[in-house]
């Protein structure tokens, strides 16, 4: 699992690395420290790099809203349509502990489907909300522990981001955000170039190679 | 909390105030495949539901409960009335039950439902809090 991008929001404006999802409002920076959204459905995708289809995104709440209905809350988005020509992405939402505080949904061409829902999962300010989209496995995690998981194939790829779905009491704030892939650590691979140790001859001619034969060794470069 | 499988109607219009969703207000994970335009491919969904009490759900005539306590239960262990009810409900929804017999398990039937909805999906990836 590799982190491919992050943002601590320690500046005045969200800037060019972020785009706004079609048909929604943009997230913005408050107090030169946190990302926030205000009163309306808001989603921004991190568009500065090309993202792998299998991806995760996570953010740390510095203000957590209270969902007023199922499907409301704030969190991260995955597989946002990078062209922003259609309102298409997965929502991984959380809200302050209580009714309907955890939700996974999808927007496909602007049509909203709620895939999974749970209540009373203990969310508090300071928690890390994480969304994962790996193949058809769509997950919501709280502080690294899975809360909900759905199976869906509607959206194959796109950008990760931030998302807010009204109606809530209070607006969300996140103090940081990160996203990445599920690639495993590099496995050893066959070398395509380097040096090969060669021996010219057994200097002592005794059928054994030892320190006395070292003068007959040399390195040969290959590619 | 106990988890059980159900066939549940999909309701809603796909809008913010009325999203496509299953007709449930308790903890669940639903398998709702979409058409390219975002509309649901079917008017029903496979659901994994978590609850302390399923009485209200069992009493809802629009909801079809999967009989059996676990996915490993053989169909032969399930009362005939419950077995026949889900069989009829699934056949009416176009689920192919060819080869399913009393030695089959509830898991075998759930997998046939997933094949009907979207063969790329996996019921094992659906999870709700216990």
For A31-49, how does the pLDDT look when each residue is reduced to its tens digit (9 = 90+)? Answer: 999 999 988 899 999 999 9
Does residue B127 belong to any structural domain of this protein?
Answer: no
Higher pLDDT, A212 or A138: A138
- The C-alpha atoms of residue B121 and residue A113 are separated, in whole angstroms, by 16
Tell me the C-alpha distance between A101 and A95, whole Å: 5
Q: What is the pLDDT of residue A73?
A: 95
Look at A154 and B122 and tell me if their CB atoms are within 8 Å: no
Residues spanned by the domain of B44: 2-122
The answer to whether residue B57 is domain-embedded is yes
Please answer yes or no on whether A111 and B32 come within 8 Å at the CB atom: no
ipTM of this model? 0.94
Q: Is B46 on the interface with A (CB under 8 A)?
A: no
Q: What percentage of chain A carries pLDDT values higher than 70?
A: 83
- Give the number of domains in chain B: 1
Alpha-carbon span A84 to B65, nearest angstrom: 40
Q: Does A154 touch chain B (CB under 8 A)?
A: yes
For residue B88, the surrounding DSSP H or E stretch is helix B80-92
- Classify residue B26: in a domain, yes or no: yes
Query: From CA A37, how far away is CA A21, in angstroms rounded?
Result: 13
Least Cα separation, residue B64 to chain A (angstroms)? 18
pLDDT over 60 (residue A120): yes
Asked if residue B130 is part of any domain, the answer here is: no
* Domain membership flag for residue B128: no
CB contact under 8 A, A70 and B21: yes
Which of A112, A146, A147, A166 should be substituted to probe chain B, the one whose Cβ sees the most B Cβ atoms within 10 Å?
A: A112
Q: pLDDT at position A85, please?
A: 82
How many whole angstroms separate alpha carbon A178 and alpha carbon A60? 9
Q: Is the distance from CB of A54 to CB of A135 less than 8 angstroms?
A: yes
Residues 50-89 of B with CB under 8 A from A: 50
Report the distance separating Cα A103 and Cα B21, nearest Å: 12
From A90's Cα to the closest Cα of chain B, the distance in A is: 12
Beta-strand runs (E) in A38-144: 42-46, 55-63, 66-67, 73-80, 89-94, 102-108, 111-118, 128-134, 137-142
pLDDT tens per residue across span A125-155? 999 999 999 999 999 999 999 999 999 999 9
Say if the Cβ atoms of B31 and A116 lie within 8 Å: no
Which residue out of B30, B110, B122 would a mutagenesis test of the A interface target, given it has the greatest number of A Cβ atoms within 10 Å?
B30
pLDDT bracket for residue A171 (50, 70, 90): very high
């Amino acid at each position: 699992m590799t982190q491919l991008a992050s943002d601590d929001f320690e500046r005045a404006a969200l800037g060019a690395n972020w785009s706004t999802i079609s048909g929604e409002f943009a997230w913005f920076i408050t107090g030169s420290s946190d990302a926030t959204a205000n009163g309306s459905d808001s989603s921004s995708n991190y568009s500065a790099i090309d993202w792998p289809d299998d991806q995760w995104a996570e953010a740390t709440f510095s203000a957590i809203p209270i969902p007023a209905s199922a499907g409301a809350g704030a969190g991260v988005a995955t597989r946002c349509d990078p062209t922003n020509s259609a309102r298409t992405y997965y929502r991984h939402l959380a809200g302050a502990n209580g009714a309907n505080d955890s939700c996974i949904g999808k927007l496909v061409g602007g049509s909203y489907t709620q895939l999974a829902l749970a209540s009373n999962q203990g969310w508090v300010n300071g928690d890390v909300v994480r969304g994962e989209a790996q193949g058809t496995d769509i997950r919501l995690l709280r502080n690294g522990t899975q809360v909900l998981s759905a199976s869906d194939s509607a959206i194959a790829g796109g950008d990760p981001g931030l998302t807010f779905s009204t109606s809530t009491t209070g607006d969300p704030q996140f103090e940081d955000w990160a996203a990445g892939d599920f690639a495993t650590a590099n496995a050893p691979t066959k070398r395509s170039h380097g040096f090969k140790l060669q021996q010219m001859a057994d200097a002592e001619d005794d059928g054994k190679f030892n320190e006395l034969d070292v003068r007959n060794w040399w390195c040969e470069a290959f590619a | 909390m106990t988890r059980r499988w159900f066939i549940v109607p999909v309701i809603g219009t796909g809008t913010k105030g009325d999203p496509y969703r299953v007709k449930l207000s308790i903890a669940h994970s639903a398998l709702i495949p979409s058409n390219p335009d975002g509309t649901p491919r079917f008017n029903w969904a496979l659901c994994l539901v978590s609850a302390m009490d399923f009485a209200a759900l069992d009493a809802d005539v629009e909801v079809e409960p999967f009989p059996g306590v676990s996915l490993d239960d053989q169909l032969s262990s399930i009362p005939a009335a419950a077995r026949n009810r889900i069989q009829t409900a699934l056949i009416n929804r176009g689920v192919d039950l060819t080869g399913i017999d009393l030695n089959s398990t509830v898991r075998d039937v759930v997998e046939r439902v997933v094949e009907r909805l979207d063969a790329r999906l996996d019921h094992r990836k659906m999870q709700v809090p216990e």
